[in-house]
Amino acid sequence: MLTVFRVNNKIKRGVMGRRQTVTPLLVGTFILRANSGAGTIVLGLLLAHIAASSAHQITSVQVGLLPVAFYISELTLAPFMGGLSDRWGRRKFLVLGPVFGLLQAGLLFFTPTHQPLPYLLSLQVLAGLSGAITVPAVLGYLADLTVHNQSRRVRVMSLYELVTSGGIAVGTVMGGLLWFWFGRLSFVFLAASYLLVIWCMWLSPPARQIVSQEKVVETAKRYIVILRMPRLLAFLPAWLCISALVGIWLSSQLTFILSTPVRYPHQLLMGSMSGPGGGRLLSLVLGGVVLFFSLSLLFWAFFLQKVARLRLMFTSIIGVYLACIALFGINHRGASNTGMIYVWLPLLLIGIFAETSFAPAALAYLADISEEAAKDRGMVMGLYSIFLGLGQILGNGLGGMFAHRFGFDGLIYLTVLLALVALLSLFWLFGKDKKYGSSSSTYVRD
């Protein structure tokens, strides 16, 4: 009888272990991000086709309004949707978010050729709603799933960042191919792939969640207390600045500077990939950077789960400065001094490797903070979307002004300033963690 009891317990533990896998959710997130990357490219090609084939003029300013509409809707709705996931359960939101993505992708097929902007702006709001529902629910779910395994939390958050960046990269490549093969029917293909996302999210195992059943007024009062938490206030400037760096270096600004025909004296990278074959060279270089970025995330995911969160974030700031030194050296190495590239390039790769540790460590740290507000974990994790979006808007705006004034060096100068603000924020955060005795500034406990 005792043997049977032990065997049943082993079977039960084995089943529970299998059920707690995050693989379906990560696969769904990868497809979701790939759809997002491909949809952006296909939409841009559709607008270019409409502008070329009709008398209606479409300006770059109008095209620029589309991501603004998306970010505004996602930023405004993310905390609200995260709060609802705290009250109604996150698994419903994991499935509901991609449903709105399916509707948005399918409706893009019917984009009118005359005055398409109002129609597309409304669909961008729908896409923002999809992101606002999905992202806080996913991050809250991952935080719920790793409550009792802190070392696993860094690994899971690293994998989330990996599938996010990898999905966008794959989608960006696939977008041009989809348009070449299917044209406007690409949106039908993207809409159908959202069915896979919904299926993956539905397969995600249940995670133990503390569901809030309090009145709305009491919940709102608690939100105000949460937003005034010292650790959260100290952490947000660093998160905002690093998110701004994403807006500087992972946007069309960098592509424009490298491929522009305008040259600056003593800045070799300005327009370095313009002219015949420049686009192919640019794709190869950026593809190589994305591949190295992904491999670096894999390293942080599987080899350094026991390193303290704040130590990883400090390491990432050092990496930012190393990358800035290397980029400045490459940009000013001189046409005759080609041998220095073998010094600057390894330093650049070391810098990129170190700075990739920030995002998974920051997500894990935000999940740690949410332990102090377990009932409102979705709302806390929804702050990720807010400050990622705000940071990208800030980085794109300031990056354009600095690049206009200083060329490629302007991006480096701005990066140095933002990294300094992030560093000061982390020192402040380190003091708060020591004061409150947080385990996140020491080694992670198993």
User: Domain range for residue 99?
Assistant: 20-211
Asked, for residue 12, whether it belongs to a domain, the answer is no
Reference 230, options 395, 437, 416, 82; nearest CA is 437
Task: Note the pLDDT tens digit of each residue in 213-246.
Answer: 666 566 666 667 767 777 888 888 898 999 888 8
Residues 162, 248 within the same domain: no
Q: How far is CA 186 from the centre of its chain?
A: 24
Per-residue pLDDT band for 439 (boundaries 50, 70, 90) equals very low
Mean per-residue pLDDT, 279-293 = 73
Concatenating the DSSP letter of every residue in 382-440 gives: HHHHHHHHHHHHHHHHHHHHHHHHHTHHHHHHHHHHHHHHHHHHHHHHHHHHHHHT-GG
Is residue 325 in some structural domain? yes
Examine the fold and report which residue of 182, 211, 240 is the final residue of a domain before the chain moves on: 211
Please tell me the predicted confidence (pLDDT) of residue 25: 93
Q: Which amino acid is at 130?
A: S
In this prediction the pTM is: 0.70
DSSP characters for 26-40?
HHHHHHHHHHHHHHH
- Report the pLDDT value the prediction gives residue 79, as an integer from 0 to 100: 81
Q: What CATH number has the domain bearing residue 159?
A: 1.20.1250.20
What's the total number of domains in the chain?
Answer: 2
422 vs 318: CA distance, rounded Å: 11
Answer whether residue 408 is part of any domain: yes
Q: Distance between CA atoms of 124 and 119, rounded to whole angstroms? A: 9
Average pLDDT in the 161-183 region? Answer: 82
Distance CA 440, CA 446 (A): 12
Residue 288 and residue 181 share a domain: no
Q: Which of 158, 176, 211 is the endpoint of a domain? A: 211
Contact call for residues 149 and 21 (beta carbons, < 8 A): no
Q: Is 267 helix (H, G, I), strand (E, B) or coil?
A: strand
Max distance between CA atoms of the chain, in angstroms, equals: 84
* Local confidence band at 413 (pLDDT 50, 70, 90 cut-offs): very high
Q: Is 304 found in the same domain as 189?
A: no
pLDDT, tens only, 95-135: 999 999 999 999 999 988 888 888 999 999 999 999 999 98
CA distance 188 to 136: 27
How far apart are alpha carbons 70 and 64 in whole angstroms?
A: 11
Residue 241 lies in a domain: yes
Q: Which residues lie below 8 Å from residue 289, measured CB to CB, with a gap of 6+? A: 352
- Tell me how far CA of residue 32 lies from CA of 169, 267, 316, in angstroms: 12, 39, 27
Amino acid in the structure at residue 127: A
Identify the weakest region by mean pLDDT among 136-150, 187-201, 219-233. 219-233
Tokens of 31: 């497809």
What's the pLDDT tens digit per position in 315-336?
999 999 999 999 999 888 765 5
Highest mean pLDDT out of 73-82, 164-173, 203-212, 265-274: 73-82
Residue 283 pLDDT exceeds 90: no
CA distance 211 to 214: 9
Task: Check residue 308 and report its DSSP letter.
Answer: -
Q: Give a yes or no: residue 11 inside a domain.
A: no
d(CA 360, CA 310): 11
| 353 and 402 fall within a common domain | yes
d(C-alpha 327, C-alpha 414), whole Å: 13
Looking at the structure, tell me whether residues 316 and 189 fall in a common domain. Answer: no
Q: Give me the percent of the chain exceeding a pLDDT of 70.
A: 78
The whole-angstrom separation of Cα 75 and Cα 125 is: 11
Please indicate, yes or no, whether residues 227 and 95 belong to a single structural domain of this protein. no
The fraction of the chain above a pLDDT of 90, given in percent, is 23
Backbone angles phi, psi at 215, to 5 degrees: -70, 155
Asked whether residue 5 is assigned to any structural domain, the reply reads: no
**Please, which pLDDT band fits residue 210 given cuts at 50, 70 and 90?**
low
Last residue within a domain, chosen from 162, 187, 211? 211
Does a structural domain hold residue 446?
no
In this prediction, residue 199 carries a pLDDT of 96
**Alpha-carbon torsion 159, 145, 141, 316, what sign?**
negative
> What's the DSSP call for residue 339?
G
243 and 184 fall within a common domain: no
On whether both 223 and 172 belong to a single domain, the answer is: no
Do 269 and 191 sit in the same domain of this protein?
no
- For residue 212, which phi and psi values (nearest 5 degrees)? -85, 130
Alpha-carbon distance of 241 to 235, in angstroms, equals 10
Q: Please name which of 242, 229, 433, 255 lies closest in space to residue 354, comparing C-alpha atoms.
A: 242
Let me know whether 131 and 244 are in one domain: no
199 shares a domain with 74 = yes
Q: Are 369 and 231 in contact (CB under 8 A)?
A: yes
Which tokens hold the place of 382? 């929804």
Q: How many helices (H) and strands (E) does the chain have?
A: 16, 0
pLDDT at residue 441 tops 60: no
Residue 311 lies in a domain: yes
User: How many angstroms separate the CA atoms of 394 and 405, rounded?
Assistant: 17
**Ramachandran class of 211: left when φ > 0, alpha when ψ lies in -120 to 50, beta otherwise:** beta
* Together in a domain, 244 and 166: no
For residues 13 and 405, give the distance between their C-alpha atoms in angstroms, rounded to a whole number: 61
